[in-house]
Structure 1
Amino acid sequence: MIEKKGALIAMSGGVDSSVAAYFMKKNGYYCEGTTMRLYRNEDIGRCNFRSCCSQRDIDDASEVAFQLDMPYEVLDFTMDFREKIMEKFIRIYESGGTPNPCIDCNRYMKFDKLLQFAHEKNLYYVVTGHYARIEQDRTSGRYLLKKALDDTKDQSYALYTMTQNQLAHTMFPLGSLRKQEVRELADELDFVNARKHDSQDICFVPQGDYTKFMEEYTGKHYPPGDFLDQMGNIVGQHMGAVRYTLGQRKGLGLAMGEPVYVCGKSMEENTVTVGPESALYSKAFIAEDMNWIAFEELDKPMRFRGKTRYRQQEQWATVSPLGKGQVRVEFDTPQRAITPGQALVLYDEDVVVGGGTILEVLS
């Protein structure tokens, strides 16, 4: 029988998950800590201490677990991570999209593999240091995912794939706290990672050089090709279409008399189209693989606020069901650089209604 006062703490080695573990212990839960080994630094040809899941992070997590008198172990999910996250990351870039591996890691690793492991250990909850909140709606009985109270740290955008079962068995102890409060408490507790920097990079792409990672991982070389203007004229040479994302301005190396931005790519022809910033704006797109949290299914057009990037402010949109997990989204006003592969997340005030993956931007 699964013990409801038992919790598996997902410990990244950072300050947030460490303080989350402290709160669970303080509130009387039996806790066990774990860190997922998702890759080995030598596998990606780097040694980087500012990404999560490195050996240093494992050492830090282990020390905090010891300080909290909590059993701790490392789980090796390297094969699953390669298949579900790293190889998908490469496929999306090679197809012309821009992936979001942190969302996939939450989906396939933290709240899938870890929850399975927790239940095997007869532990009811998986606990992480995410800044978000989970509440159960008294009327419908559904579990709701809500924004963190600290809107500067809110991570609900990256959690939209969570299912009802996962939400029922997950706790986010930091959802009502501000980051400064968390650091101050870690200092008081004398945690080894109290002043550790937050990870900035995609964990397996240190320094953000994702093309170098892809070439080393696949053994491929992504060849140069033509920059085109919006009329199809060649205006320069690029260094490989996978290196460029919609909306990019820096690093193009083009002198065209005015600022230009990446506004399109053809992976088949290995071309990158550039144009003025005005060419980046669009209103309508198709999203797929929708996951609804606030209700079971969308059965009619509805109005929500939505965003297509983590740091974007939500904007009003009409969302219409298309069937087979797809929706048509039309913003009231044009939005900048809506990009296939990125996530659409929909909100009703501070509640995450649901979300999906951007498939196609409509003219």
Structure 2
Amino acid sequence: MDAAINAARAAVGLPVGARVVAAMSGGVDSTVVAALLHKAGYEVVGVTLQLYDHGAALKKKGACCAGQDIHDARLAAETLGIPHYVLDYESRFREAVIDQFADTYLRGHTPVPCIRCNQTVKFRDLLDVARDLGAVAMATGHYVRRAIGPDGRTQMRKAVDPSRDQSYFLFATTAEQLDYLRFPLADLEKPQVRGVAAELGLRIAAKPDSQDICFVPTGDYRTLIDRLRPQGRAAGDIVHMDGRVLGRHEGVTGFTIGQRRGLNVAVGEPLFVVRLDPEAQQVIVGPREALLTASLTLEEANWLGDQPSLKAAAEGGVPVLARVRSTRDPSPARLALSGGDVTVIFEAGEEGVAPGQACVLYDPADPDRLLGGGFIRETAALG
């Protein structure tokens, strides 16, 4: 326990007694953050966001920021003896995350709602609330490290536990936000966190982790999209990249780049979704090698790296490590800037890169350091 408290105090780096807002989702990680900061001597104020379905998720396991989670956060705050507020952000969450999720699928792209949630509701709106409450920092249960570099600038770095690292989902955090945020679990592993919860007698010690898409109760995102954007159910053709029409589909929103199952076509070879064309209502399929991407173009780029690197990128490209999925290791690439476009060129082809997903960039000379990233606007095939 003492080691965890000291690690949390070091991660916060503020004088004991400072007021810190703890973002409490109702899960193990955020609850332990509040507990550690309280034990470390900070004036902790817990804040929980009601994000969706007002109690409909009360009995749902693995949810986040709804129903049972709010109840658990409130009980934890009472146990710790800290003030706790619940804020109704359902309308903001619907507009910034759920509607954007559905619209992205409608465009034939693949969204990452956790990034949008962190980018908007949590690290924009909630930070404003924390400042209004007079807090000098806001702490969250994300597994990512915050450090001060040799140049005095705040860096975002991977967590000590690579299996829990969430830097991919936080690439859109701005430098100003990062200066205000704290991540007390950066140097802990998940078993340690659960151990702290158990030692403190917190009832959420064995609670399951939240799902990736917390607002899809059954995991069936198609049902949600059909309800919000029924036009996505327009039928169309499944077309081989050589032009052959192989079958029919019931809407492009039911497919993602790299998908193999559910195509219901048989041509004697494995086929994968290589492109989606919502305007033509076509699902384009091809062999696995057609999934290889040579380069991609980013939009909504955000930088936590230094400006000289960007200047060098404009002058011909700089080496980076590019991560296109949270579950995939970064790949060697080059970052280039040309005519306002941010382009990532892979040294070798990268498979299954989907527009709408994020591409997050790390420093090859210091692979734990996040430089920035953006959302994938378009891709160029290899060959």
Query: What TM-score do the two structures reach when normalised by structure 1?
Result: 0.94
The CA deviation string for residues 200-242 of structure 1, in whole angstroms up to 9 with x for no partner, is 2411112321121012234546122211112111111112111
> SS of the residue aligned with 1:184?
helix
Q: Is the 8 A contact 2:31 2:76 kept in 1?
A: yes
- Counterpart in the other structure of 2:222: 211
Match status 1:313 vs 2:329: yes
Matches within 5 A, 1:33-44: 33-40=46-53
- 1:180 aligned residue (191, 213, 216): 191
Separation of aligned partners in 2, 1:207 and 1:120: 36
> SS of the residue aligned with 2:300?
strand
> SS of the residue aligned with 1:166?
helix
> SS of the residue aligned with 2:123?
helix
- 1:71 aligned residue (67, 83, 105): 83
**Inter-CA distance 296–5: structure 2 relative to 1 (3 Å threshold):** farther
Separation of aligned partners in 1, 2:70 and 2:123: 19
Separation of aligned partners in 1, 2:167 and 2:207: 23
- Counterpart in the other structure of 1:116: 128
Separation of aligned partners in 1, 2:238 and 2:287: 14
Q: Is the 8 A contact 1:48 1:54 kept in 2?
A: no
Q: Is the 8 A contact 1:14 1:193 kept in 2?
A: yes
Q: Is the 8 A contact 1:284 1:330 kept in 2?
A: yes
Deviates more, 1:153-162 or 1:20-29: 20-29
Separation of aligned partners in 2, 1:82 and 1:207: 18
Match status 1:327 vs 2:368: no
Separation of aligned partners in 1, 2:242 and 2:235: 20
Separation of aligned partners in 1, 2:153 and 2:160: 21
Separation of aligned partners in 1, 2:198 and 2:307: 43
Q: Is the 8 A contact 2:358 2:375 kept in 1?
A: yes
Q: Is the 8 A contact 1:126 1:171 kept in 2?
A: yes
- Counterpart in the other structure of 2:43: 30
Separation of aligned partners in 2, 1:73 and 1:310: 32
Q: Is the 8 A contact 2:144 2:165 kept in 1?
A: yes
RMSD across aligned C-alpha pairs, in angstroms? 1.8
- 2:359 aligned residue (330, 344, 362): 344
- Counterpart in the other structure of 1:20: 33
Q: Is the 8 A contact 1:50 1:201 kept in 2?
A: no
**Inter-CA distance 218–241: structure 2 relative to 1 (3 Å threshold):** closer
Matches within 5 A, 1:157-176: 157-176=168-187
Percentage of matched positions with identical amino acids: 38
Separation of aligned partners in 1, 2:149 and 2:343: 27
Separation of aligned partners in 2, 1:155 and 1:247: 23
The total of aligned residue pairs comes to 358
The CA deviation string for residues 236-284 of structure 1, in whole angstroms up to 9 with x for no partner, is 1112111100001122222221211111111011110111111100111
- Counterpart in the other structure of 1:266: 277
In the TM superposition, what is the alpha-carbon distance from 1:322 to its structure 2 partner?
2.8
Deviates more, 1:235-244 or 1:47-56: 47-56
**Inter-CA distance 219–333: structure 2 relative to 1 (3 Å threshold):** closer
Deviates more, 1:248-257 or 1:353-362: 248-257
- Counterpart in the other structure of 1:359: 377
Separation of aligned partners in 1, 2:299 and 2:58: 34
> SS of the residue aligned with 1:255?
coil
Separation of aligned partners in 2, 1:41 and 1:250: 35
**Could you list the runs of 5+ residues in structure 1 that have no partner in the other structure?**
none
In the TM superposition, what is the alpha-carbon distance from 1:147 to its structure 2 partner?
0.3
- Counterpart in the other structure of 1:229: 240
Q: Is the 8 A contact 1:264 1:273 kept in 2?
A: yes
Separation of aligned partners in 2, 1:41 and 1:220: 27
Q: Is the 8 A contact 1:142 1:295 kept in 2?
A: no
Separation of aligned partners in 2, 1:11 and 1:359: 33
Match status 1:55 vs 2:55: no
Amino acid at match of 2:349: P
Match status 1:303 vs 2:316: no
**Inter-CA distance 68–86: structure 2 relative to 1 (3 Å threshold):** same
